[in-house]
Structure 1
Amino acid sequence: MVTGQATDGASVLASDTAVSPVETALMPGAEFYSLWGADAPVSLPNDGAEPDFHTWFPPDGGFRFELIVLPPDGKLPQPGLDMKQALAETEKVLPGLIGKMDPAHPGMHQTDSIDLIYVTCGACVLALDGGTEIALAAGDVIVQHGPRHAWHNPHAEPCGLLTISLGVGRKG
């Protein structure tokens, strides 16, 4: 649900719609829910209309509010998957995601953002560049300041990550 303010200052329910997951053949079992975001700072009052945003990760000054469901490790794309087509499909439904990934290290990526993450269910491992691994479980919170990292789920159940990503400029 989204609230806002009418032009007369009255509080209003701006929208109440279900958000469907984005899924891609390249990452079977993963679900990406884009809940809200903006590519630039927003101001108040506003009517609660969804701001304009274009890519999965926010630019400097933008933000994203997302839910990501990580499937258990081992879910591989279908045999014979046309990788060129799968990459194009993923870029279409999750713009900018593939470009942040390190092709030499599957799943490893780095974003220019501060990420506020809450594990809603299940458990997973946050792997940092250099070999550090951090076990996370439902109820855990982590704040990331733009490191190279990857997510893994070595458990039998999916893991839900509620994320707020704040786009920041990277110096150097």
Structure 2
Amino acid sequence: MKSIRRVVTGLLNGKAVIASDVEVPELSLALAGGVTTVRLCGATTPPAVPNSGELTEAPKFSPPPGGYHFSIFSVPPMSAVVTAEPPADIEKAREVLEREIPGLLELMDPDVPGMHATTSIDFVVVLSGAITLELDSGVAMVLHAGDTLVQNGVRHRWLNHGTERAWIAAVVLGTELSTQANLIGRRQIRTI
């Protein structure tokens, strides 16, 4: 995929219409470990309808409460990441990443590549390929095309142990951090 078609509905004279039909380009950022993203829509405030479906601004990777973003991203096979050359100008690559996906770097664990957590609920569906969800507890689960995940603000990362790129769609909804977060985090609900 190099771009994704985004169709948005709207109202004109009280009737439903196609408000826009555009191709949204795929971003490939030097410090993203080969992960690419297509940012489809989002805002820093709760949505109201109808709206344009446009990104009102580059929303933070972890949106504020009521903020959201919808994107499709791909994760390359681990073999491609291991052999990738680092960018020649790291500082420039950091600036570009912060401009395109604000707040991403500050959420990343510097000791465990890709491990991060957001104050959000993420609704995820694997579109193609297979991807491993790894939690900071060491639990890992392989998700395949058609599998879904409700990710509740826990530390996690995505690893692709396959041979082809995995494509994933995610709606990220910014939430408040629960005052019960530490208690809930210590309670084991279910293990697989």
Out of 26, 38, 59, the residue aligned to residue 21 of structure 1 is 26
The answer to whether the 8 A contact 1:21-1:32 is kept is yes
Out of 162, 171, 174, the residue aligned to residue 155 of structure 1 is 162
Residue identity over aligned pairs, in percent, reads: 37
| Deviates most, 148-157 or 21-30 | 21-30
TM-score, normalising length: structure 2: 0.82
Question: Which segments of structure 1 move beyond 3 Å, counting only runs of 4 or more?
Answer: none
**Higher share of residues assigned helix:** 2
Match of 2:43 in 1: 38
| Deviates most, 61-70 or 91-100 | 91-100
Q: Which has the higher contact order (CA 8 A, sep 6+)?
A: 1
Seen in structure 2, the aligned counterparts of structure 1 residues 159 and 49 have a Cα distance that, compared at 3 Å, is closer
Q: Distance in 2 between matches of 1:106 and 1:151?
A: 10
Out of 114, 123, 136, the residue aligned to residue 129 of structure 1 is 136
Q: Which amino acid aligns with 1:36?
A: C
Please give the per-residue CA displacement for 1:92-138, whole angstroms capped at 9, x wherever unaligned.
22211111111111100000110110000000100001100011111
Cα distance, 1:79 vs structure 2: 4.6
Q: Which amino acid aligns with 2:10?
A: G
How many residue pairs get aligned? The number is 170
Q: Distance in 2 between matches of 1:49 and 1:89?
A: 24
| CA root-mean-square deviation | 1.7
Match of 1:4 in 2: 10
Structure 2 gap segments, 5+ residues each: 1-6, 180-192
Structure 1 gap segments, 5+ residues each: none
Q: Distance in 2 between matches of 1:109 and 1:73?
A: 18
TM-score, normalising length: structure 1: 0.91
